[in-house]
Amino acid sequence: MRAIILAAGRGSRLHHYTANCPKCLTELGGETLIDRQLKVLRACGVKDITIVTGYCAEMLDLAETTQVVNDAWATTNMVESLFAAEGLFGDDLIVSYSDIVYEYRVLNALLNSAADISVIVDKAWRSYWEFRFDDPLSDAESLQMNEQGEITDIGNKVTNIDEIDAQYIGLMRFKGSGINALQSAWRSMHDKNRPWKHSRPVEKAYMTDLLMEMILSGSKLNAIPVQNGWLEIDTVDDYESAIARFTDGSITEFFNPAYNE
């Protein structure tokens, strides 16, 4: 099993906090985002870890990890960063954004899935979004599931918050035939006419664009539901609000920073 952490971007919405370092090197509670991820991955038995770098790549030459550079990091997005490391996919692959942190129980839920394609989704997302945003719908995206727990729609804007079954957090796993489905969808999305291409080129595709392409191609994306247990650091408000909650201890409403099961 290999984990690939996507850390090529600068995180420009964090402004001065990422002026001299990648977003994942910002600190929460005295530890960087990426150090928190590495500790959880290793504690759960995932030792083979690759970091896809770009902005300030030399700062992410971390011990006991492999680095792959997305040389086009400034003009591409998550999907292109992932496929910069395609040669290392193997047959069991965890993919994680670098601007999130998550508890052991969240990763263990993913590791315990027997599905070929598994995607962590937060069923208790609404309280976290209400904490982060004055208008939760300003950032929330569609995620709908069928009775079998498979994702049927993801990554689109919605106008009714009740249409969202959960939120995608940026942590997923592909194994066996799921690896082939991932690669096939990436190749086919370059040629398919999809609505998102009206607003961004394929080189700027979001990971949710790729996941939706897999769904449209007939793949079954198994949703792995959790209740909170993670954080995303995307903006200055995100970061400063999280720091304040770490300081007063109230961060545990959404995320337990203690390194235990």
> Which residue ranges in the chain fall short of pLDDT 50?
261
Question: The tokens 């965890």 sit on which residue?
Answer: 94
- Gap between the Cα atoms of 82 and 94, Å rounded: 11
pLDDT tens digit sequence for 167-214: 999 999 999 999 999 999 999 999 999 999 999 999 999 999 999 999
Neighbours of 75 (CB within 10 A): 11
pLDDT tens digit sequence for 79-97: 999 999 999 999 999 999 9
Tokens of 2: 């290999």
- Cα 191 to Cα 118, 188, 197, 222: the distances in Å are 25, 6, 11, 26
Backbone torsions φ then ψ of 64, nearest 5 degrees: 60, 30
In a 13 Å sphere around the CA of 165, the CA atoms on its Cβ side amount to 17
* pLDDT for position 259: 60
DSSP 19: S
